[in-house]
């Protein structure tokens, strides 16, 4: 495990320990000594390191990367060079160039690079993806909307170990690296763009982008408009789909909102497919899916289902199968590269349109 923050403490480490038949948590790297000691004691981890490079010198089968977004590219590339399979939390990285480097290195090594899009492993999502593919629907509109009432505030556990002892030099180096990558991706060195790009677009909106890509496939989508705000509380835009359809996407961080909500709808000549996903840390809460489509006899067929399966656990099971049984990776780096590329284009379109200043956007394809 590289990185011992919230997602590692709340999800990955408990799941690795619970699935002892497939996994053994052999080592942890984190710049915080406090985090290393506490998590090693809690999960029985024998070896800890302040630097991930020392961890990668050990004979490991795989690493789970939960480091800050701006460190993902260098860690994933180093892991591949060390001959280690990788499950990296989204985003894969922050720039299109780094994504291409990772894809090429993964192809050269033949190792697994799976990106942590756990929502793709909900059976409800899987059912929607299969139904849309079989229908060949001629999509008119895709709508993906997520409203987040600041989940970290609600789900941070009481025994969470804060990394409040990280050396200032390490924090500064990570911030500098992140800012440089954001400047490359956005073509802007304005420091106010770092948070909305790395956290809102690449950290949050990317979930829905990958989910829609998983249903429709990636393509030469034309960016019509985009919107964002300097505080990183809003991200979204509109994309032209092949065949004349539209994809409208939005992610909003609203502290005063009600429960977390995430909905993906696909509307087409053949019918409508609607997926609703629960808050990601409510791992046993149901994801619901409803399909309404034209039947072969000319009437309408409706089907609804709910899934209570834990997508995080199923994601780890899939990773194990990819590494040990050569199962094709469902969320590979090559697909994540398309997510990064589209979101970078969206963000740049928003900047060019002045959308970060709440002005009227203009078309940029």
* Mean pLDDT score, 4-12: 96
Burial class of residue 79 in the structure, from the number of CB atoms within 10 Å of its CB (0-12 exposed, 13-18 middle, 19+ buried): buried
Q: How confident is the model at residue 230 (pLDDT cuts 50, 70, 90)?
A: confident
Percent of the chain at pLDDT > 90 equals: 80
Mean pLDDT, the chain, rounded, equals 92
- What's the pLDDT tens digit per position in 190-203? 999 999 999 999 99
Q: How confident is the model at residue 355 (pLDDT cuts 50, 70, 90)?
A: low
The structural domains of the chain, ordered by start, are 6-116 (3.40.50.720), 124-357 (3.30.360.10)
Residue-level pLDDT at 141 = 95
Residue-level pLDDT at 316 = 97
Instruction: Give residue 173's Cα distance to chain centre.
Output: 24
| Residue 362 pLDDT > 70 | no
| Residue 219 pLDDT > 60 | yes
**Nearest residue to 258 via CA among 152, 156, 149, 155:** 149
Peptide bond into 91 cis (omega under 30): yes
Residue-level pLDDT at 363 = 41
**Nearest residue to 138 via CA among 246, 291, 297, 298:** 246
Residue-level pLDDT at 92 = 98
**Secondary structure of the chain as H, E, C letters:** CECCCHHHHHHHHHHHHHCCCCCCCCEEECCCHHHHHHHHHHHCCCEEECCHHHHHCCCCCEEEECCCHHHHHHHHHHHHHCCCEEEEECCCCCCHHHHHHHHHHHHHHCCCEEEECHHHHCHHHHHHHHHHHHHCCCEEEEEEEEEECCHHHHHCCCCCCCCCCCCHHHHHHHHHHHHHHHHHHHCCCCHHHHHHHHHHHHHHHHHHHHHHHHHHCCCCCEEEEEEECCCCCEEEEEEECCCCCEEEEEEEECCCCCCCEEEEEEEECCEEEEEEECCCCCCCCCEEEEEEEECCCCCEEEEEEEECCCHHHHHHHHHHHHHHHCCCCCCEHHHHHHHHHHHHHHHHHHHHCCHHHCCCCCCCC
Q: How confident is the model at residue 365 (pLDDT cuts 50, 70, 90)?
A: very low
| Residue 261 pLDDT > 90 | yes
| Residue 80 pLDDT > 90 | yes
Q: Which of 8 and 363 is assigned the larger pLDDT?
A: 8
* Mean pLDDT score, 203-211: 97
**Nearest residue to 333 via CA among 37, 91, 41:** 91
**Nearest residue to 142 via CA among 267, 291, 237, 300:** 267
- What's the pLDDT tens digit per position in 87-138? 999 999 999 999 999 999 999 999 999 999 999 999 999 999 999 988 767 8
| Residue 360 pLDDT > 50 | no
**For residue 36, which phi and psi values (nearest 5 degrees)?**
-60, -50
- What's the pLDDT tens digit per position in 147-179? 999 877 777 888 999 999 999 999 999 999 999
- What's the pLDDT tens digit per position in 275-327? 999 998 888 889 999 999 877 766 778 899 999 999 999 999 999 999 999 99
- What's the pLDDT tens digit per position in 243-260? 889 999 999 999 888 889
Residue-level pLDDT at 357 = 54
Residue-level pLDDT at 151 = 75
């Amino acid at each position: 495990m590289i990185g011992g923050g919230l997602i590692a403490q709340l999800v990955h480490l408990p799941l690795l320990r619970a699935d002892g038949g497939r996994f053994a948590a052999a080592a942890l790297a984190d710049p915080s000594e406090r985090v290393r000691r506490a998590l090693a004691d809690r999960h029985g981890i024998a070896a800890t390191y302040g630097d991930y490079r020392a961890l990668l010198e050990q004979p490991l089968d795989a690493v789970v990367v939960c480091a800050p977004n701006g460190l993902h590219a260098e860690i994933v590339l180093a892991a591949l060079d060390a001959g280690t399979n990788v499950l990296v939390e989204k985003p894969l990285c922050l720039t299109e160039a780094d994504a291409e480097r990772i894809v090429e290195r993964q192809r050269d090594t033949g190792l697994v690079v799976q990106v942590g899009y756990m929502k793709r492993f909900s059976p409800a999502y899987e059912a929607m993806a299969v139904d849309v593919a079989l229908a060949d629907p001629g999509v008119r509109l895709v709508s993906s909307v997520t409203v987040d009432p600041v989940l970290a505030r609600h789900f941070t556990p009481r025994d969470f170990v804060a990394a409040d002892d990280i050396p200032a030099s390490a924090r500064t180096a990570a911030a500098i690296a992140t800012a440089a990558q954001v400047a490359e991706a956005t073509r802007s060195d304005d420091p106010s763009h770092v948070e909305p790009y790395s956290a809102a677009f690449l950290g949050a909106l990317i979930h829905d982008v990958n989910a829609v890509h998983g249903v429709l496939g990636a393509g030469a989508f034309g960016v019509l408009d985009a919107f964002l705000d300097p505080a990183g509380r809003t991200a979204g835009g509109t994309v032209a789909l092949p065949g004349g359809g539209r994809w409208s996407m939005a992610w909003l961080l609203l502290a005063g909102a009600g429960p977390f909500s995430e909905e993906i709808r696909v509307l087409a000549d053949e019918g409508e497919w609607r997926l609703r996903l629960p808050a990601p840390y409510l791992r046993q809460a149901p994801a619901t899916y409803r399909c309404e489509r034209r039947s072969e006899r000319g009437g309408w067929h409706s089907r609804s289902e709910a899934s209570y399966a834990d997508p995080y656990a199923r994601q780890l099971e899939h990773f194990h199968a990819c590494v040990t049984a050569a199962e094709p990776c469902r969320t590979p780096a090559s697909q994540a590269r398309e997510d990064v590329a589209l979101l970078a284009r969206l963000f740049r379109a928003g900047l060019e349109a002045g959308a970060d200043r709440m002005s009227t956007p203009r078309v940029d394809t």
